[in-house]
Structure 1
Amino acid sequence: MARTKFDQLPNELVLNILGYLTSLDAWFAFHNLNTRLNNSLQNSSMKIDLSLCRRFQCDFTYRYILPRIQNPFAIRFCPRIMDESTYQFFIELKSNNVEYKLQVLTLTHITEQSMNIIAQHLNRLVNLRSLTIMHDHEEFYGKFINTFMNTNMPRLVYLTLGYTERSSSLYVYEGNLDRLRSTIPNIQNFILKVPISFNTFHRLLNVLPQLVSIEVHLTERSINEIKKNSYNRDFARNLQKLVMTINGIIRFKIIEQLLRALPHLHTFWLSTFICDNSYGTEYQDGKVWEGLIRKYLRNLIDFRLNVGLESTQSISPADIMQPFRSSFWIKEKQWCFVADRPENDVDTIELYSLPPPVNSKIIFRPNVQWVSNSSNPNFQSARMLGLLPTLDRSASRTARNRRYTNVTTLHTASVNNSNHDYDVSIVFDYVDLTKVRNCIISVSEFIESLSVMINLTSLTIRCYDGNIEYFKKISSPIYTLKKLFLSKSMHCYYYNRNDMKIITHLFPNLEYIELRISEFESLPILMNGLPHLVYAIIYNEPEVIDEEHLKQWLHKKEPIMKFMWSVDDKKLDIWFDG
């Protein structure tokens, strides 16, 4: 009977089941059903996720799944601290003779050591078409990118390079860019999530003229004059999609000169924040954009902006919106824009399109005036929201038609003024919190709303002190939460054994956690109270917890609790085995 029901399941569902089972459970689940499982593995194009799994799940994949793969497949892998696991990963691909079948590879939380191992094996993946490498920490000059440039991947079409955490002022050393001509000669889609200068970006387009799509993060650097003759007919001749984020101030005329040389562009997204109104007013000028698009970007069909510019007393959101009310925007292109003045710390006027650029955060404050060139702007198209508190609770009111009902990532800003407050009941009128999956909280008043977020999977607490008392505002356990980051607070709060009991009660299904502890006794409570925990990063001060003492304690507990670990003078990494 069980086999009959099992045979009715789609292949994709059968394979996905493996991600939720231990090796022992999988054995019983597929007992006497191995023929069906083998057929699924041999006839399907698999997507394997080893980014957050226990050791036995890796072993099960290596021993049972990889030997039976017959078709091109994709895999996501996260070596974390275990450099030997990175080496084993590539050895298993080779020993199971599936290197040539791997077409999509995603590597996250890469360290300098693991990157060196990866670079040695990438050349063997001769049929790889898509590669993503996200480094764990910022490096000077983007060292890991230079390491990657020494690999040869002739069939690679999609490439993403970046840092797991948001990078700041780091940039790529452009001296090695010419290597890309030979190492990735067929690359067409490039996402570079590492800040680079405009000159580096310009050179990159010259080195890779075959690019069809590129996403870059430009940083403010001294910009050498780009001569007009460098934008010849062959410059980026195949480029159709450009996604650009600017950190700092790059004069509009430089971007304008670039866009004039890209007549085949059909998609252009731009996000920037300018805290000096003496620069960059053209970025919010609808008349300037209209003239540029009409004359040089005639093939443009997808144009998105998210521009924050320091406001002045003489210009209002209505003034910004007026040029966007022309027939070009409303009738010909039918592109919708919104402008408001959220009165944030820098006091900017925010101009953004609907839909906004993907992964671009909309700055939003309830009960402030806004204007649009559309009678029915599609606020539902926004996915990431930077939520500011209401200015005056007594004046709080819901703005007509301004509901962000599909937000999945929510950032809350800290409160710097007594007149600013989070009225959670008012927030409910603007945002559908039941759809939020990723939440970053910087103010304690908002923590009580977590119980409403029934689909929340990732939570980061950045409150000033990060005190455990805030969690007592949560009315019931959050069973959907998988990742919890408690080490991002401005003030270092160290959790004790009593705090651990609260955390394990409120978030019983955690798979990943980062926090600070004040005593040894907190560790077993954490480990025993979270049965699904896969990975933990524990920060401690050397004067509070002695490193040698900690090593002895871990070595004593390891045979019983089944985990692998690494410790230094700043943190303890634990990867749970079973």
Structure 2
Amino acid sequence: MLFEYLPIELFYEIFSYLSGGYILKAFYSINMHLNNVLIGYNHYILDLSQLDMSKKEFHLICSFLRSNQIVGLKLSENEFNVVNRFLLTFANKQQILTRLRSFWTDDTIEVDRQFLSKFASIVNYNQLSSVRFDRIRSSKNFVRFDYSLKSLTHLAVCSSKQFLQLVKKIPTNLTFLHMYFNSIDDMDQCIRFNIHQLKSLGIGIKCTSMNIQQFINKFQYYQWRQLVQLNLNLNVDFHLQFVMLQDIFSNMFRLKHLVLILNQPLTADNDLLNGIVWESYITTSLIDLKTFNFQLPTSKTSEQRIDSLLKTFRTKWWLKKKQWFIEYDYHKQLLITVPYFASTRCDNRNTYSLGDIMNWDIFYRNINHLQIDLSEYGDNDQIFITEPTRRSPRFNNLDRLVLIGYLSEYVCNQIQEQVNLNRVKYFSFGSIAESANTFIRLLENMPNLYYLCIRDSKVCDIFNSWSLSFPSVRKLILADYESKTRTELFHHLIFLFPRLTDLTVNYQSRSMILYLINEFVHLEKLTLHLTPNQYAPNPTWISKHSRLEMNEFESKVFNYNDQTKKFILWINAEMISHRQTRRKCTVQ
């Protein structure tokens, strides 16, 4: 079926699940009809924190989208200085994001008055309905922010103290409030102004044995009218008792969703670790509760005692009626609900008591990052426990695979049997393979591979054995290879990775740079690691001797504390026409 025959509403429904950058990357310039669909869509949510966003994609966002099409914005700082570039692009065009409703900065950005004042040129803070600040800069001489955030309904910030220093007054229309509170008074102040309409409340707070009763008293006083969700992250310096939580939840009659995180280890006889006690309380006091997820640390105890605790959570009520599944994380010594708190990473250097896991499918289905230290694999090969009746791979949702050490034929076979390699997009290989064919066989089963990192001195021997190219690979990192093989190595790269857009290698010579720029016609970013005594090439020299003109690239040198340096060259791929002839250059 042709795209032209699909209803526009279907495209809009698909777009609502995607970041604006991914939408443009996937659908832009396929045909005029789709371009018109993109032009007509007015609910773009931009995530500028995406690590794989290229310079070309960023320029497409800034040049294609109108300011009134953007309703959500997530910012993150990176080497390309994407935050200031985005701000300057729209400020220079004198375009205000008139329909922006959601504004999020991650922990790479320190939010302060200066930052907010800069963005006031394109953001109307009084129209925002959702704000999240993962990092706020403290200052003794903090000048309050001039905007009231009067339309705000959703707020998530990392510190109540810093936020209250920053804003003019507390927003009073919040239905969603998630915050780390630096004091009970801060918490009380924020809740009281919004208690009548609050539907979702997230509290992170530290309490002592001296003020826990004050904390509990506040909750016994609150009269919740609409609260249906509570996330409570409680850091205490004493052994919390079940009756204390009962008092905290006492007026939450409409609660439907509860997340509980404790930081102080509990002894095995604490009722908070008893599923029977929880079952009795929930069935009588929290009768509307639909989801319950917790992370409860335990004191060091025997496996037999842990098994006894788990049995209290494996009654018919827990497993059949509620379908809430509890496991024990032996590595972190946590009693957890799965899949909510199940790890998304699996590392064979950690301690896993896989034989005690009841919900195998949930455990494996949740893993998206697998790291194997092959030097320890013999002692921890329970990760790949085989079942005669099982035919499908265990790790079926894996998108990142990291191997460290010596890759044998046996382990390679185990990985192929137990991992759905079709889903792997990121593969890091810091190993030595039993043979080049062993490694290649693994790689050939990754048709959707996007990112490849190889740290192997014999990488050229591996490339010599390849007969197929890998057009899906866009990002390649090579390290620890022998410098004497670089001429042969780079010739291999042209054939093996014809669609490469991002390449990271060690700096060898200026002629090497020219060779890579001239031969990799799709390259958008080139990163070169320099030793302390090496100098980065001059941009004018690059422009003069390569296929690039001066206005077609940018470059910058980054210096690090360990005396190493990194040279990054960003290529404006959209400004370069496809050239039939390119300068040829040998690698010296």
Identify the TM-score tier after normalising by the shorter chain. Answer: 0.5 to 0.7
| 1:117–1:181 Cα change, 3 Å | closer
Amino acid at match of 1:576: I
Amino acid at match of 1:155: S
Give per-residue Cα distances to partners, 1:457-508, cap 9 Å, x unaligned. 45677xxxx4354686686655434456679xxx999999556566666555
SS in 1 for 2:447: coil
Q: Match of 1:253? A: 240
Q: Which has the larger radius of gyration?
A: 2
Give per-residue Cα distances to partners, 1:40-61, cap 9 Å, x unaligned. 6346544566666666665555
SS in 2 for 1:325: coil
Out of 540, 543, 566, which is 2:530 matched to? 540
2:135 is the counterpart of 1:153 = no
Q: Distance in 2 between matches of 1:181 and 1:294?
A: 44
Correspondences of 1:93-492 after superposition (within 5 Å): 94-95=94-95, 99-105=97-103, 116-117=114-115, 119-122=117-120, 123-131=123-131, 152-158=148-154, 172=159, 174-177=161-164, 179=166, 182=169, 184-189=171-176, 199=182, 203-204=186-187, 206-208=189-191, 210=194, 212-213=199-200, 225-226=211-212, 227=214, 228-234=216-222, 239-242=227-230, 253=240, 257=244, 260-262=247-249, 263=252, 264-269=254-259, 285-287=274-276, 289-290=278-279, 293=282, 297-305=286-294, 312-313=301-302, 315=304, 318-339=307-328, 351-357=335-341, 360-361=344-345, 369-371=354-356, 378-379=362-363, 381-385=365-369, 387=371, 390-392=377-379, 397-399=385-387, 404-410=394-400, 423-438=411-426, 449-458=442-451, 466-469=455-458, 477-483=469-475
Instruction: Give the C-alpha shift of residue 261 in structure 1.
Output: 2.0
Amino acid at match of 2:89: F
Q: Distance in 1 between matches of 2:71 and 2:432?
A: 44
Q: Distance in 2 between matches of 1:560 and 1:433?
A: 42
Q: Distance in 2 between matches of 1:189 and 1:494?
A: 56
Q: Match of 2:89? A: 89
Q: Distance in 2 between matches of 1:392 and 1:113?
A: 47
Q: Distance in 2 between matches of 1:398 and 1:215?
A: 41
Q: How many residues align?
A: 523
Q: TM-score, length-normalised on structure 1?
A: 0.66
| 1:223–1:100 Cα change, 3 Å | farther
Q: TM-score, length-normalised on structure 2?
A: 0.65
CA contact (8 A) 1:79 1:114 kept: no
Higher mean displacement: 233-242 or 429-438: 233-242
Amino acid at match of 1:330: L
Q: Distance in 1 between matches of 2:328 and 2:511?
A: 53
| 1:435–1:53 Cα change, 3 Å | closer
Amino acid at match of 1:567: V
Q: Distance in 2 between matches of 1:404 and 1:244?
A: 33
Q: Distance in 2 between matches of 1:303 and 1:329?
A: 11
Q: Distance in 1 between matches of 2:221 and 2:424?
A: 46
| 1:328–1:436 Cα change, 3 Å | same
2:571 is the counterpart of 1:565 = no
SS in 2 for 1:566: strand
CA contact (8 A) 2:398 2:420 kept: no
Give per-residue Cα distances to partners, 1:324-357, cap 9 Å, x unaligned. 223332344222234475xxxxx55565433334
Q: Distance in 1 between matches of 2:300 and 2:183?
A: 31
Instruction: Give the C-alpha shift of residue 382 in structure 1.
Output: 1.6
Q: Distance in 2 between matches of 1:152 and 1:447?
A: 58
Structure 2 unaligned segments of length 5 or more: list them.
Answer: 16-21, 561-565, 574-588
Q: Match of 1:19? A: 25
Q: Distance in 1 between matches of 2:238 and 2:481?
A: 40
SS in 2 for 1:564: strand
Identity %: 15
| 1:40–1:10 Cα change, 3 Å | farther
CA contact (8 A) 2:400 2:424 kept: yes
2:5 is the counterpart of 1:8 = yes
Q: Distance in 1 between matches of 2:329 and 2:491?
A: 44
| 1:354–1:367 Cα change, 3 Å | closer
Q: Distance in 2 between matches of 1:132 and 1:501?
A: 47
CA contact (8 A) 2:326 2:337 kept: yes
Q: Distance in 1 between matches of 2:319 and 2:45?
A: 43
Q: Match of 1:344? A: none
Q: Distance in 2 between matches of 1:207 and 1:473?
A: 60
CA contact (8 A) 1:251 1:280 kept: no
| 1:381–1:356 Cα change, 3 Å | farther
CA contact (8 A) 1:403 1:430 kept: yes
SS in 2 for 1:370: helix
Q: Distance in 2 between matches of 1:188 and 1:544?
A: 57
| 1:21–1:8 Cα change, 3 Å | closer
Instruction: Give the C-alpha shift of residue 207 in structure 1.
Output: 2.0
Q: Distance in 1 between matches of 2:443 and 2:310?
A: 36
SS in 2 for 1:565: strand
Q: Distance in 2 between matches of 1:477 and 1:7?
A: 33
Q: CA RMSD, aligned part only? A: 5.6
